[in-house]
Structure 1
Amino acid sequence: MDNALVLLTIIMIILMFIIAQKDAIRNLFGLILNVLAVFILITLINFGLNPLVVLAVIAPVIVAVSIFMSADENEVTFIAFKTSIMVILILFPIAIIVQYLGHFQGFAAENVDELENLSLDIGVNFSNVSIVVLLISVIGAISESSIALAASLTEVIDQDERMTIEQLKNQRKIISEQILGTATNTLFFGMLGSSAGLILWFTRLNYRFSDIINSKLLVADVVTMLLGMIGILVAIIISGHFVQKNFVIQKNKI
């Protein structure tokens, strides 16, 4: 297992340098910082701090590193950062409501064998932990969608100095549809790939359909996927709005 991780890491680093060249060091450093941020988040929760408070502190750091370490364009990164923070704030109450209705915190019945000889009295609110996991899992997709739309629209504007507001709206619609389609498909197939073994297990053990859709393990993955899709959609709307607003302001100055 260790050899596989080392091999994949080496391949990833080589490809990063081939594609990004001199920017690969910055991107790799950003990835390391985010891994460190997640480790700090887990450590602070383990120390007994409120998971939601820890999330409120660490999430903006993860977003900032993901965005500002991946692009040089100040206007694009600033728009993407504002958008990502706003989307996380919007998704936060939705995650709380979904968790309250779904009760998918903690461990599932399938985990009983592994936990049989272990104590579950560890003093952690797993409901709050589930909310943290939901939001941390979708931060990457939100940041990516925000910066992709902002960068694409900004590039289109820079290429056509005579562009009108109507033309920008048309370009915004086209680019938004493209990003939405690819990003949501990425989330869907990511969820499907990670849950394929679990779904196969349910099928081979003759689980009823009602048992499958109420499985805590599967529902948590599906909820994360749907929350991510909502986040991507909102991020595309807000990011496009900011770019269009800046475009109008620049046009009025001329």
Structure 2
Amino acid sequence: MNVLIWLAGILLILMILVGGHKGARSFIAIIYNFAVILFTVLLMTVPNADPIIITIIASTIISCINLFYINEVNRTTKTAFISTVITIIMLLMFIFVFTEKSMIQGFGEEEIEEIGIFTLFIGIDFIKIATAVIIMSTIGAITDTAMAISSPMREIFIHNPTISRKELFFSGMNIGKDILGTSTNTLFFAFFGGYLGLLIWFKDLSYSLGEIINSKVFSAEMITILCAGIGVALIIPVTASITAYYLVKARNQNKH
């Protein structure tokens, strides 16, 4: 417990030193997001509750916290939020279908020993739970990418107010190309960093490469990473087009 407090304190001090007032708000936003996730988990245990609807509402709240609470309400955060909502809607059915077809819901055989004494008839649709996990894992990467594209585009527009919508769009796409590789690699290495122990366990159990790939635990995490990567790739043109349209439209309205 003391270690957690010390690390949290160090993080808070560094965020304030580097980010000032916005850094402090960012730290508070972490607490808010944690509270939203805990409340979401509690709601999912309510009988007849739909995990996907609960997750969509929670993801919307998390997006509002990360965008509007930290960076306030402005053109940049508005376009980033709209882009995030559109991308999540595009991904929703895609994620649900792939979750159902890949059969990654529920528990893997590696976890059977720990849960063998419990009943699995708990009245929850595990396909929807798996879908909710992927959506929740995806929302952070999508929101970050949307903000990372919308903000530079706004700066480009401010310094070059006569730029055309097409030129502004392609500027956003060029920014997105630089972000795409680093964002997807961040997701990839976050998985291997968090599941290094699992991979060592696979080695100790003498799993072949085929057995590792077909393991439900491994497949579920890889599908989550791939869906998040798809979301990051999709939100780049979505954010670039919406931001370009919004900024140029506002300029034209001001002229009149």
Same topology, TM > 0.5: yes
Q: Which whole-Å CA distance do the structure 1 matches of 2:50 and 2:250 have between them?
A: 44
Q: In structure 2, how many angstroms separate the alpha carbons of the residues matched to 1:168 and 1:50?
A: 41
What whole-Å deviation, never above 9, does each CA across 1:14-37 have from its counterpart, x for those lacking one? 111111111233222222221111
| Within-5 A mapping of 1:31-50 | 31-48=30-47, 49-50=49-50
Tell me which residue corresponds to 2:206. 206
How far did 1:164 drift?
A: 4.2
- Give the Cα separation in 1 of the matches to 2:158 and 2:211: 54
Does the 8 Å CA contact 2:104/2:216 hold for their aligned counterparts? Answer: yes
- Superposed, which structure 2 residues align to 1:110-189 within 5 Å? 110-165=110-165, 167-189=167-189
Of 229-238 and 192-201, deviating more is 192-201
RMSD: 1.8
Q: TM-score, normalised by structure 1?
A: 0.92
Q: Which runs of 5+ in 2 are unaligned?
A: none
Is 1:194 aligned with 2:194?
Answer: yes
> Would you say 1:4 and 2:3 are equivalent positions?
yes
Number of corresponding residues = 253
* Residue type of the alignment partner of 1:10: G
Deviation at 1:158, TM superposition (A): 0.9
Deviation at 1:76, TM superposition (A): 0.6
Deviation at 1:159, TM superposition (A): 1.8
Q: More displaced, 222-231 or 52-61?
A: 52-61
Structure 1 residue 72, shift from structure 2 partner: 3.2
More moved, 92-101 vs 152-161: 152-161
Match of 2:84 in 1: 84
Deviations 1:28-53 (A, max 9, x none): 22222211111111001112212122
Question: In the aligned structure 2, how far is the partner of 1:17 from the partner of 1:27?
Answer: 9
Identity of aligned residues (%): 27
Q: Does 1:17 align with 2:16?
A: yes
TM-score by length of 2: 0.92
Q: Measure, in 2, the Cα distance between the counterparts of 1:110 and 1:29.
A: 37
1:241 — aligned with what? 241
**Structure 1: 5+ residue runs without aligned partners?**
none
Equivalent-residue separation in structure 1 for 2:94 and 2:3 (angstroms)? 38
Offset of residue 167 of structure 1 = 4.2
SS in 2 for 1:22: helix
Equivalent AA in structure 1 for residue 172 of structure 2:
R
